[in-house]
Amino acid sequence: MQSSTVITLAGRSVFALVAVQGSAVRLRVLSREWETLGLAEGQTVHVDCPGQLDAPMLIGSVETATTGSTFVNLTLPITARRQQVA
């Protein structure tokens, strides 16, 4: 499922295109907004996307495009994935 919305990422509101597929989430945000967050790959952040997601997520990869957008791939932390399987 894909939608454009305001989400809360690490306690800050950001406008993003959000695509959720299973336990994976892909965000597209403006590069300047991403840079102001000061987040990096490997960090765990709390993501609140109304009606879709409200959970801690692991920043898996970050790709910056020449168009001024940054693509962020998020996954559930390993501990959360283990709890889902059990």
Q: Residue type at 24?
A: A
Beta strands in 1-86 (DSSP E): 2-9, 12-21, 24-30, 44-49, 53-64, 69-75
**CB of 74 closer than 8 Å to CB of 58:** yes
Which tokens sit at 82? 């283990």
pTM: 0.81
Q: So where are the chain's domains?
A: 2-85
Mean pLDDT of the chain, nearest integer: 88
**Model pLDDT for residues 48-81, shown as the tens digit of each residue:** 988 888 889 999 999 999 999 999 999 988 765 5
Runs of H (alpha helix) within 15-56: 31-37
Supply the pLDDT for residue 82: 52
**CB of 37 closer than 8 Å to CB of 12:** yes
